[in-house]
Amino acid sequence: KNTVSIFKQTGIFLSVCRHRMVQTIAEMRHSDAKYPLATINKLVNMFGHNQAIGSDIGCSLVKTVATSLIHNKAADHHLVLTVNAFHGHMYNCKCQL
């Protein structure tokens, strides 16, 4: 790899609480499911049981978590993944059901 490609990034993946305080932040190197999974794992470790995490990709994230290594941890901690109210109107109405 050349020197310039080492410093390329895809973006920033972050999570914020309902009070707009940043909880986690990661510099993305690739577009991959590892960023939301690592964030979920970190949030469960930080806050424990009975947490709800809202995401604009919550519909597909449920499937990703279900097939990941953190599935049992998420289930044991009663983690709930949600999508925002307008997601279904823009993408797929079934996501809101």
In the chain, which stretches have pLDDT less than 50? Answer: none
d(CA 86, CA 70): 28
Query: Residue 12's pLDDT is what?
Result: 85
User: Degrees (nearest 5) of the Cα angle 6, 12, 18?
Assistant: 165
d(CA 79, CA 2): 42
Query: Residue 30's pLDDT is what?
Result: 76
Query: Residue 2's pLDDT is what?
Result: 53
What residue ranges do the domains of the chain occupy?
3-96
Query: Residue 26's pLDDT is what?
Result: 86
Query: Residue 88's pLDDT is what?
Result: 55
Query: Residue 48's pLDDT is what?
Result: 92
Which secondary-structure segment (H or E) carries 24? Answer: strand 22-28
pTM for this model (two decimals): 0.74
